[in-house]
Structure 1
Amino acid sequence: MKVATLALIITGVAIADGFAQTPDPNAPNPGSGHGIQYLPKELKAPVAPAITAEELKRRQAVEKFNGFAAADPVAKGWDLETNSEFVVFDGNVTILPKGAIIHVPDRYKANVVTKMQGNLMLWPEFVARYPGLVARMDVTMEEVTGTTPFKPERLLAERRRNLIIVGVLNGNPITVSRQTITPQTPPVVTR
């Protein structure tokens, strides 16, 4: 009983102070408090007048369309062929990222080319088919980025194999920083 009396008192006070509105019975959606009847009568709908045929022709004459821009015949940006090296042998070719070849002996210089020549063969198949031509050299991420140089004795041992040496990370060719590769030095002979 006390709760009902208190609610009635609060409602009466709110109505007396103007906080509560009684809905307009003539409004299309009573109780919302907003509707078309609240908009100013001089406000027009946001619609543009329809364009006439003469106006359309005049606009078309002023705004000439000269066609689409011609496509640039030269591709811009990254190009696979310029960012790759190719190793060819027996009519087959494999594609390597530029900088992945660590060493090329003199007798195989003709097998490293800059253009695609022959039938494309994926790297795993190429290295398995021609083990007397190319060899993998496992490299670490530190050696790839140039933070850690190759050990000279490791490079010398790989170069003595007299094969094309390709730097690989997780079995795949990867570009190796030239800072980590020491220039080829003749072996030191001790007596």
Structure 2
Amino acid sequence: MKNLALALVTGLALLPSGQAQEMRDAPTHEQMALRLRAQRNQDPMRDLKVIEADDPTKTNRPADILATSEFLSFSGASTLVPQGAVLHVPDSLRNRTGIVSGNRIVTWAQFFAENRAWIEVVDLELSQIIGAEPLPAGLISRMENSRQIMVAAVQGGPISVPQAKLDEAKALAEARK
């Protein structure tokens, strides 16, 4: 034990990798002050200009999630989807829309997995949602004949479809008849 203490004190101890430990002097106050000054001179934040405008965190407050969502509920569970994501609700399933007091809130993926028998997911492309491409040709006829609640989705996640896009698709379907 004395030999180990002596080796540590004299600096002869080896590191675990088998190399001798390098000793160096501690930086002086002047050296540390020079480094700090150099870092401050290279700081990109000091070149940014202060903008005098409204605080975007106060002017662009997010909307209330409950006000911009629709609920699907069944068997003690509820989930929310964006308003406009539910494309079609048959009369026989109207009681499954809306929030039910006392239900547990679950994710869309979990809710859909448990209720896929009465929910149909209509997979759309993002380009169709934003208007670069038309909605699928048979979508309106599927909506008219479906016995399931139809929910629009992109890559499995529910998404709002603008009412104007649905009206456009209905007009095209009528023109084809």
Question: TM-score under structure 2 normalisation?
Answer: 0.55
User: SS of the residue aligned with 2:151?
Assistant: strand
Deviation of 1:111 (Å): 1.2
Q: Cα deviations across residues 30-80 of structure 1 (Å, max 9, x unaligned)?
A: xxxxxxxxxxxxxxxxxxxxxxxxxxxxxxxxxxxxxxxxxxxxxx75201
In the alignment, is the contact (CA less than 8 A) between 1:135 and 1:165 conserved in 2? yes
User: SS of the residue aligned with 1:79?
Assistant: coil
Gapped runs of 5+ residues in structure 1?
Answer: 1-75
CA gap 1:152/1:109 in 2 versus in 1, 3 angstroms: farther
Deviation of 1:153 (Å): 1.8
Partner of 1:105: 90
In the alignment, is the contact (CA less than 8 A) between 2:69 and 2:83 conserved in 1? yes
- After superposition, residues 1-191 of structure 1 pair within 5 angstroms as 78-113=63-98, 115=99, 117=101, 118-181=103-166, 182-183=169-170
Tell me the percent identity: 23
CA gap 1:175/1:116 in 2 versus in 1, 3 angstroms: farther
Q: Which amino acid aligns with 2:160?
A: T
Instruction: Decide which structure has the larger Cα Rg and report it.
Output: 1
Q: Which amino acid aligns with 1:138?
A: D
Q: Distance in 2 between matches of 1:179 and 1:90?
A: 34
Question: TM-score under structure 1 normalisation?
Answer: 0.51
Gapped runs of 5+ residues in structure 2?
Answer: 1-60
Q: Cα deviations across residues 78-133 of structure 1 (Å, max 9, x unaligned)?
A: 201101100001111011011111111111112111x4641111111111111122
Q: Which amino acid aligns with 2:129?
A: V
User: SS of the residue aligned with 1:132?
Assistant: coil
Partner of 1:48: none
Deviation of 1:162 (Å): 1.1
Q: Which amino acid aligns with 2:66?
A: E
Equivalent pairs, count: 112
Deviation of 1:175 (Å): 0.9
In the alignment, is the contact (CA less than 8 A) between 2:87 and 2:143 conserved in 1? no
Q: Cα deviations across residues 116-173 of structure 1 (Å, max 9, x unaligned)?
A: 6411111111111111221111011122123433234233235433111111111111
Aligned CA RMSD, in angstroms, stands at 2.7
